[in-house]
Amino acid sequence: MDDAARQSTQAWSAGAVGETVVGAQLDGLADLGVIALHDRRIPGSRANIDHLAVTTAGVWVIDAKRYRGKRPEAYTEGGFLGFGGTTRLKVGGRKKDALIDGVARQVDVVQEAVGEAVPVRGVLCFVEGDWPLIAGDLTIRGIRVVWPKRLRKEFVTAGDGSLDPEDLARALAVAFPPA
């Protein structure tokens, strides 16, 4: 196997571990009324959505990433004396704005499918990241950046809504079939 193929296989394997960990965490939140849909295909695209979580408060689009021992951080680029500028993502010191952009695109696709009346939130969930002991969760351009166990708090904080999660999950399962 050449180096490029080996790197691709390693990246896929790491991603699969991350998706499995986050999927198990979501499945364990049924007591909160969370309905999880895993590995959903975006029709007309080669892309997939790792996880959709549905509650009475809306839909979460969750992208799982495994960056073992690397710290996700927000930084500001541009602006003047700390004002203005754009908040961006670094992981392990490397710029990773493409991860935020990818989740934002997925949120847009899901929002289009469910309509404007349903809140749709984006979450980038890092498995095995180097998270600080206190705080550490981030919001970058509206996308939450968290670790798997923090997902519970995301759903609790959102509170109860008036949506029917079972109907919504059925509609999402049709709009985004299994990959």
Give the total number of structural domains in the chain: 1
- pLDDT range class, residue 53, cuts 50, 70, 90: very high
Rounded to the nearest 10 degrees, the angle between the axes of helix 3-27 and helix 151-158 is 50
- pLDDT range class, residue 83, cuts 50, 70, 90: confident
What is the model's pLDDT at position 15? 54
Find the CATH number of the domain harbouring 103.
3.40.1350
16 vs 157 pLDDT, higher one:
157
- How do 58-66 and 35-41 pair as beta strands? unpaired
Q: Which domain holds residue 128?
A: 3-175
- For the chain, give the secondary structure using H, E and C: CCHHHHHHHHHHHHHHHHHHHHHHHHHCCHHHCCEEEEEEECCCCCCEEEEEEEECCEEEEEEEEECCCCCEEEEEECCECCECCEEEEEECCEECHHHHHHHHHHHHHHHHHHCCCCCEEEEEEEECCCCCCCCCCEEECCEEEECHHHHHHHHHHHCCCCCCHHHHHHHHHHHCCEC
- pLDDT range class, residue 14, cuts 50, 70, 90: very low
179 vs 13 pLDDT, higher one:
179
- pLDDT range class, residue 2, cuts 50, 70, 90: low
Separation between Cα atoms, residue 26 and residue 38, nearest integer Å: 9
- Say which residue the tokens 């809140």 belong to: 119
Separation between Cα atoms, residue 68 and residue 160, nearest integer Å: 34
